[in-house]
Homo-oligomer: A and B are copies of this chain.
Amino acid sequence: MASTIPNEKASLEPLKSLVEKELLEVNDLISKTVESSVDLIPLAARNLMSAGGKRLRPMLTLAAAKLCGYREGPRVIPLAASIEFIHAATLLHDDVIDDSALRRGIPTAKATWGNQASILVGDFLFVKAFQLMLQDGSPKILDLLASASGRIVEGEILQLTTQGDLETTQEKHLDVVIRKTSPLFEAAMGVGALVAESPPSHVEKLMSYGRFLGVCFQLVDDILDYSSLSATTGKNQGDDFRDAKVTLPVVIAYRAGTLEEKAFWTRTFVDQQQKEGDFQQALAYLHKHNALSQTLEIAQSYSVSARKCLDDFSEAPEYPVFKEILQFCLDRSL
């Protein structure tokens, strides 16, 4: 699928090593914060938040702070935890909205405790996210996180009202991805830079890095759903197809497809009438039009844009870590 095969795949290990100590504190704080006299809350929240999540977003905050010269200090810990809480809250609500039974191969809170509990525990995590960010109290950081939360939700509503629209264009589809997935990556980076009291130009550059990285991650996720590698990354091959979720590979294959192919996609995605063998057929159409490799190329272009945002930081010891995150994102699809 990719044009070059590197000797060794990039990994998240350099990032993990860089923020190892702080991430332990973030995890402790997450555990403490979900305590409640109402038993279901810590049960459901811990189930979600310990279920193999990569903690990518809080790690980005911790690492971005270091990249900007923030050394030791307690401020960044609740802020990084807050970002993970926003992420977890959106996951809980997404599972209800997508009617998902599994996430990373593990039963969702929705499957275990039902829709009602998932909605309310999601609300609880949202509130906790706000309480954690209030501990810092910096108006700029509060505004950034609140506005990111608002944009994520707007992006999700936009996705809801356009989903199943096979006639959409690449540009429109990417707009939804940027509006839904990028704000939290962007905010994760921005909070790290702000806590380190970086100049506005640096804050902006790192937020752009986060925005492009977010798109790159989402597109590779969408590729993986049609890839035989999905098992190794904890994704379930074919989930997006079964849920009739229109992702970029499908948009590309639909637009390039014959009338017969368009009828296939309409039956399986719009009418949601799927039968045995349809997933294999979908794979064949995706490969016929190089839809997965075209999606990867677009992901690569976002990765290049993200990398350019790091130019001002090339002297920092943390610089290679941020480059490797981008490579890790792309290498997942190999």
Enumerate chain A interface residues (CB-CB to B < 8 A): 36-41, 93, 96-97, 115-117, 119-121, 123-124, 126-128, 130-131, 134, 137, 139, 142-143, 146-147, 149-150, 153-154, 156-158, 160-161
Contact = CB atoms under 8 A, between A and B. Distances in A.
Contacts of A139: 134, 137
A120 B128 CA distance: 18
Nearest to A119: B93
A130 B143 CA distance: 10
A120 B40 contact: no
Contact of A120 (B143, B147, B156): B156
Given A134-B143, A139-B134, A160-B116, A154 B41 contact: yes
For this chain, the copies found in one complex come to: 2
Given A97-B119, A154-B37, A154-B38, A127 B149 contact: yes
A150 B128 contact: yes
Contacts of A137: 139
Contact of A123 (B120, B121, B153): B153
Contacts of A41: 154, 157
Contacts of A156: 120, 123
B38 A120 contact: no
Given A41-B154, A150-B128, A158-B38, A93 B115 contact: no
Contacts of A93: 119-120, 123
A-B pairs with the 10 shortest C-beta distances? A127-B150, A124-B153, A97-B116, A127-B149, A123-B153, A120-B157, A38-B158, A131-B146, A38-B157, A38-B154
A38 B161 contact: yes
B40 A161 contact: yes
A157 B123 CA distance: 10
